[in-house]
Structure formats: structure tokens, C-alpha cells
Amino acid sequence: MKKKINVLVRILVMAAIFVITIYLVNIFQNRSYKNLAAEMKDAELPLAYVCYGDSLLNCMHGYTGEVDLTLLRDSVTPIDENKNLEIMVENDAFKDASYSYEIRSISGDSLIEKGDLEAASGTDGYDVLDISARMDLKQDMEYMLVVKLKSGDGRSASYYTRVVVNDNYHESQLLNAAKDFHDATFAFDKLESESVIGTYKQEYTGGGTGDSYGLGHVNLANAYSDLLWDGLKPTVISDVNTYIKEIDVNYAVIEMEYKAMSITSQDVMSYYTVKEFYKISYRDVPVASQIDEADGAGTDGIYFDETASYDEAYSDEQDADTVTETEPKITMLSYDRYVDEYFDKDGIDAINNVYEIGIVSSDDLEYRYTEDNKKIAFVRNGQLWMYDYGDGQITLVYGSGMDDHANDSNTYSDHDMNIISFDKDGNMTFAVYGYMNSGDHEGKLGVALYTFDYTTLEVDELLFVECNVPYEAMKSETSRLTYYDGDKFYYMLGGKVNAVDMKTRQQSYIAEGLSASDVKVSVNMEVMAYGESEDQSSNTKLTLMNMHTGKSYEITAGAGECLICYGFKDSDMVYGVSSISDAQVDVDAESFVGTRYSEESRDNIPASRLYIVNSDGEQIKEYAKSGYYLMQVDVDTNLLYLTRGEKSDSGFKSVDDDFITFKEDDTKETIGTTHLSSITGYDRLYFTVPSNMYLSYIPALNITKEKIDPDAASMIMTVVRDKVTYHVYDNLGLSKIYDVAGDAINYAVSVSGIVVSSEGEVIYRQAESQEYNTIASGIFHRSTGSVDASLGDCLYMVLTYQGVQVTEDDIAQYTDPVEALNSLGKRQGIDVTGLSLDMLLGYVSSGIPVISRISDGRYVLIVSYNEADIRYYDPVEDKEIVVSRDEYTDMMLQWHNESYTYVEE
């Protein structure tokens, strides 16, 4: 009996020791975690993919609300003439799901076909959906495919990708080229001469150099070692999601997105989100041995007699030595890799007294700090952090995926944040805008307003405004302005400055009809300014609004003058006064080469005076120097950089720049950022702190709790556009929005981007123009013999060329040529004013005539060109005229390259 008792005691003692051990281990392992609570809810909506052979392409995230499809350009999927497509959907969370599909016009307003889908069970937890389009889809025309999911418990989501029918896009070769390049960047020991990277670098003719952010952004201009990660040797830890962003018969933009991890010899692990962008062209080139070696044979194998007349050289029946054998040629037009490191709370560097932010692709870091410098709030990779130096704590205020970087759902980055206010106690107000990746609003687009209580570690949602604008379009506006004064929430969206009264839950707007560039906002977002007109010559009033005090101030121009707002220095507004008559004065653009004078500033009327007013509308400085004009004003950190001009008979010509400096208090040290490469061997961004602060301890981690607030408000805002705008997409998505197509195209050329209208039509994409082309034989000439009627004559010819029967009275109803082309024609008319002659000839290269204004104000039609000359039909003279390119360029400059054309579907 005693033996049994001893055994029992031993068992009880061992059990007690086990429990105590578990308890102590738990305390030890979590000794740096305080008030640990559940993170934000993980994403639940399944992901969908296009099945392409053995690969999955074009990862699609589910949307649970309305979406403006003309602004959604996440991916495009080429399909063959059989119009078959296979979609794979993760089905782990959504059991017993039913599916259907729709094919819509690219604008989304026209339903082409719809149907139900039967899901087959695939491998690895996927539902497989086979879609066979029944309707006759036009070749090369983009449509929007919508896949709709509905779960057994009533939840639903929609998935989107553009589709286009063409058997000759060579997408498999282009995708393989991108994959080969991607793989080669991880072949760390391979010589450049043995790598496909070396081949593409030798052929690369693009400009630019590697960025100043080290590995944060590299391109083909960087050294080979940079492209191979310069010894960092990261490992890919997630799926490599591949997207076809744009494609046509000879060109594609391909994106690869993935997560990577590196580890040092001291076992320090770092995690990164990586995006790679490939712009690749495909063309069949003549086999070298087959090209005729006769004098005058061109690289395209077509014989050209340089002594022939214009008509002979460009007739459709010219002699040619046709090469029958070709081989594919793939050219890497550009490659860009952007790397952003995830913030690691352990990145305290006590020796250098800095806090590591990480490798960054851009210096555009959203952060605030308290007046005593003891607390910093900042946004990194979709996560909002708050570091408390005094208490030695750091808090993940908002965001998910902290320890699960490989999860594509939780780390989806189609949203961003603005820190609105941050007080000395660590309490914060902030806004989240874009695609809601998790939580109660998962799958919706919108703007959410939150408060954070540092004492309770609770995040409280005050308001959610659901909208139909995708993140890429939303960020150009909403990133500029979100402000909460305790009573009203202000935000910019849909060309309006909106205001929500939090007590009445009613929304109104302060101003409307604004583009993102029309509204200027102070850094702290407390003060904003806007004009009454997009046209500067009509802008005779500026409104300055101090949202902190709720007061507004109006600044008016004198007789014959107009105003331009340049922006804010802290909370002080900087604006200029211009003479309306100076809008007609030309600018000697060549004299400004090498200055800061940008293409965008060419639409601004140079100002003769500059003023600075504070947030209460009080003037604090004036700048004016007789005979000098401000061509461009840049608001830098501690100065205004003034690009100046002088007016002469030939127009505004460049003179020396000038500056207005702001003296800073050198004795007051504040939180800042700096790039350092000496610490880790790689260029990383760091927080710097005042000299009386000593960073020595790794802070304890807090994770916030979501507060359930029954008083939280929700509303829906549907943005309806009342005008056509033109959107420039660069590597990282939607870059800028313009009202004039020509301005958008000029900017797109500078960033190697594309231009898409708000109606979904691709207005411009990079493409190789033919060396010559003529459409003269297809133009039905019309002449009324007068300069005043020449525009109507040109419109008549263009519409007739499209196959439209119109009368003179039909055209006479319209004063705007773009409106006439859109209302009467079969294609979308565009204003391409400002484009160079070379750019205009790109349309003629595609078989599209261009209306151009020249000389005495007459409008003519460009119908042919070669390397040296162009041919245009002059309805005043009733004949075709051939002039040199240089001569025609001079004729166009007199009317600032005013031009109009249209785009094919």
C-alpha cells in the first residue's frame, strides 16, 4: 500500500513540475510581449488564378462591393480563338461554393454574355472552372471577365481579369523570357557572359542609371552584381505571382511579385516584398543570311531607292526583295525590381544610435513624431507601427501578416494609410484607404477612419465609407487629404473634397470638379487650397481652408491677372500672380534644358510675383524682381527653388535660378531619417534620434485589439465621372491623371508608361513606329477654301475615313473637335495637343489621320511621312503638300502643337 502511495506522490510531483516548467517557458519565451492580444482578423476570401499550362497566372483577389471596371487594370489574359479559359479558385474556406461568370465591355456598362459554372475538384485544394465563351468576341478588343463566387452560407465575391482574343501574342515566349531573367538573378555564381542578363544588358538602349537606394530599386542600367543582389543572396519564400499587365502583338508588360528572406552569418533574418516589372517586345526578324546585300537594302529586307520621288518611294507597289525566313527576336525594353524590407522591431543599433527601417524602394515614408521626440508612428508595407522610446515598447497598431510573410492574402498591399494626428501620449487618429484586406469590410473598396488608444491598446473604427474606386485610382486623391477635426472627417475622392459630419452622419462636399493636382495640402493635412478653375487663365480666386479652425479665406486676383498655387511650406501657402495675356507668349524650351523646368509646368502661365500666406490667410512674404518671371516653383524642405525666365520677342527664355530660404532652429534636434550602408553593407533607411536619446534596448511588443463600437458609421459613395480623363500607368500602377490626352502621353513617354482613358480605351502604349506610312489614298478630300472652315473640313474627312456619313450641318453643331469625333464617329476622339511631331506620326503609322493646326491658324490633315518629310492635305489650298519634318515642326509650334485624332478599339 505504501509503495502505491509513493508512486502516486511521484506522479503528482512530476505533473506539478511539468506544469510549472510550461508556465516558466511560456513567460521566458514571451518576456518581450506585453498585453498580447489577437491580431486583426486574417483574410478569408479565397484567391483565384488563371490556369496557363502548368502555371498559375494573374492572381485575383475577391471584391465584395461595386467596382469601377474602367479603372481596374490588374491583369489581362490572352485567349485563343477557341475562347476557352480555365480558372482555379482556392476552396479551403468557402465550401459548397457555386460559381457563375460574366463577360462585359471594358467599361463594364455592357453585358456581352453570362452563364453558370460547374466546379470540378482539382488538386491542392482548388475548384477548377472551365469557361467557354459563346459570343463572337472581336480580336484584339479587351473585355472584362467577371467570375462570381457564392458560398453555402451566403457570402459572395467577384474576381476580375481583362481578356483579349488573339492567337499571335507570343505570350508563352514572353513569359518564359521573364522567368529566365528572374531565375538568372538568383544564379549568384554565374558569370555575366554566361547569363541571359548579360545578353539583355548589352542590348539595352534605355537611359537612366541605378537609383540611389541601393538594392531598393535596380534596373538594367545597374551593374550586373546589383541585379544578382550584390551578395545578399535572398531566398524566395512564397509563390512567385506572375501577372500579364499589358499585351499586344509585339509588346508585353509582365509583373512578378513575391516575398523573400535573407539571413546573415549572425543568423539575423530579414524579410522583403519584391516586385519585378518586365517590358518585353517580340518580333520576327529576317534571318541574316537571307537579306539581299544589294545597295539600299534596309534592315527589314525591303529595298528602298533613295533617289526615288516621294510618291515612288512610298507607293504600295514598290519593288522589294522579300525575305521568307525569319526568327523570333525578344528584346528586354526595361526591367525594374523594387524591394521593400519588412520592419523588424529588433533593428536597434546601439553603436550608431539609429533604428533600422530597412531596404526601401522609395524615401516616401509616412511618419510622425511627438514634440518630445519620444514616440514615432510610421507606416511600412501595409503595417502601422508606434515606437515608444520612454517605455521601451513598440506597438503594431494596424496590419496583419507580421509573422506570415509568405501568405499572399494577408500581405496583399492594395491599401495604404495616412496618419492624421498623433499626440504626446501616443494616441493616434489614422485613415486606411483602398482595398480592405481583412476584417468586417474584407473585399470592399473604401476609406476607413480609426482612433488608437495607447492606454488600452484598442483600435476603434469610427467610420467606413465604401466606394467603387480601385486603390490605384483612389490613392492619387485620397493619399493627399484625409483629416479629422473631431466633428468632421474630410477626404478627397471623386474629384471632390468631401466632408462627413460624424454626429449627423451626413456627407457633403466643400469643392467639386477638382483633379488631384488642383488641390494643394499641407504636410500635416490641416490646411488645403484650391482654385476655381482648372484653366489657370480663368483662375482668379484661390480658397484657403484651415480645417483645424474651420475657417476659410479667399484670395482674389487683380484685373487682367490670374493665380496659381504652388503648394505649402509646412502650413504656409505659396502662390503666384500671373498676367492672363502671358498665356499667349511662347516659351523657348531649348533654353530651359538642364533646368528644373518640367513638361507639366509648360501649361502654367509664368508668374511675376510670389506670395506666402500663413494658415490664417495673413501675408508673411512677397517676392518680385522686375523683368523676371517664375516658370516653376519647387517647395523643398527648407527652401523654395525658383526656376526663372525672362520675356523677350522670342518668348520666355531661361535665366539664373533663385531661392527663398527658411532658417531652421539648428538647436532643436528632431526625429529624422537617413540612408546608411556602412552598418549592414547594404543601403538601408534608418530613423535618427536627438543626441540626448540613447537607443540600446529592443522594445517589447504590443499588439492591438479591435474594439467593437456599435456607434461606428458606414456609408456608400458611388463615384460617377462627368468627364473623360486620361490615366498614366507606370511600373507601380496608376501614376497620374490628366484632362488632356496629349499631356498624359507626354508624361507616359517620360516614364515608359501607358495611357488609358477613363472609358477603358488604351490611348497610348510604347510601340515601334514604321519608318514610313501613307494613308493618303484613303482620304476623301473636302475643301471649303477658308481658314475658318478648315477644322470642319478636317473633321468631315476624318469621319468619312471612319466610314461615317455626315453633313456639314452635323459637324457645325460642335465647337469642340473631340466632342464632334466622339458624338459622330465610330472611335474615341482625343486631344493630343502638345505632342511632338514624332509622337503624332505614331498614329499615322497605325493608319490614323491627325488633325493639326499650323501657320495662320488653319487646320490640316497629316496623311503620310517618311524619314525626312511629311505630307499633309490643306483644305484651304485644296491640295496635298510635302514639307520637311523640321519645317512642319516650326509651323506647329506657332499653335503649341494643337492636334486631334482618335484611337482604334
Percent of the chain at pLDDT exceeding 90:
57
In a domain, 608, yes or no: yes
**pLDDT score of 250:** 81
pLDDT tens track for 259-293: 999 998 888 899 999 999 999 999 888 875 544 44
pLDDT tens track for 549-562: 989 999 999 999 99
In a domain, 227, yes or no: yes
* Whether 404 and 370 share a structural domain: yes
* Whether 658 and 793 share a structural domain: no
* 736 vs 730: CA distance, rounded Å: 9
CB 353 within 8 A of CB 676: no
Q: Which cell numbers hold the place of 17?
A: 513540475
Last residue of a domain, one of 165, 183, 199: 165
Supply the pTM of this predicted model: 0.84
* Whether 267 and 383 share a structural domain: no
In a domain, 873, yes or no: yes
**pLDDT score of 824:** 94
CB 862 within 8 A of CB 844: yes
* Whether 266 and 193 share a structural domain: yes
In a domain, 687, yes or no: no
- Residue 59 sits in which domain range? 48-74+81-165
Summarize the chain as % helix, strand, coil (round to 5). 20, 40, 40
How many CB atoms within 10 Å of residue 354?
Answer: 21
What total of structural domains would you count in the chain? 7
Looking at per-residue pLDDT, the higher value among 499 and 307 belongs to 499
**pLDDT score of 636:** 84
Short-list 633, 422, 614, CA closest to 522 = 614
* Whether 698 and 732 share a structural domain: no
* Whether 122 and 61 share a structural domain: yes
Confidence band of 208 (pLDDT split at 50, 70, 90): low
Looking at per-residue pLDDT, the higher value among 406 and 243 belongs to 243
CB 815 within 8 A of CB 800: no
Alpha helix segments (H runs only) across 701-814: 741-750, 790-801, 808-812
* Whether 154 and 259 share a structural domain: no
| Extended strands (E) in 494-604 | 496-501, 506-511, 520-521, 527-531, 541-546, 551-556, 561-569, 572-579
The DSSP H or E segment spanning 111 is strand 111-117
In a domain, 675, yes or no: no
Write the CA distances from 623 to 98, 146, 627, 874, integer angstroms: 67, 56, 13, 48
* Whether 250 and 360 share a structural domain: no
Q: What phi, psi does 30 have (nearest 5°)? A: -110, 25
In a domain, 686, yes or no: no
Confidence band of 59 (pLDDT split at 50, 70, 90): very high
The mean pLDDT value for 696-713 works out to 84
**pLDDT score of 213:** 66
- Res 295 pLDDT > 50: no
pLDDT tens track for 83-93: 999 999 987 76
Confidence band of 750 (pLDDT split at 50, 70, 90): confident
- Res 28 pLDDT > 70: no
pLDDT tens track for 141-161: 899 999 999 987 788 999 999
DSSP 130-162: EEE--S-PPBT-EEEEEEEEE-TTS-EEEEEEE
In a domain, 296, yes or no: no
* Whether 366 and 502 share a structural domain: yes
**pLDDT score of 205:** 78
- The domain that contains 832 carries what CATH number? 3.90.70.10
* Whether 278 and 376 share a structural domain: no
* Whether 427 and 531 share a structural domain: no
Percent of the chain at pLDDT exceeding 70:
88
**pLDDT score of 151:** 86
* 902 vs 848: CA distance, rounded Å: 7
Q: Which cell numbers hold the place of 184?
A: 538568372
* Whether 354 and 503 share a structural domain: yes
In a domain, 318, yes or no: no
Last residue of a domain, one of 707, 735, 764: 764
pLDDT tens track for 566-624: 999 999 999 999 999 998 888 888 899 889 998 778 889 999 999 999 999 999 999 99
- The domain that contains 267 carries what CATH number? 3.10.450
CB 412 within 8 A of CB 435: yes
pLDDT tens track for 815-867: 899 999 999 998 889 999 888 898 899 899 889 999 999 989 999 999 999 98
- Res 482 pLDDT > 50: yes
**pLDDT score of 794:** 94
- Res 34 pLDDT > 60: no
The mean pLDDT value for 667-686 works out to 90
- The domain that contains 659 carries what CATH number? 2.40.128.660
CA 795 to chain centre: 34
The mean pLDDT value for 235-240 works out to 95
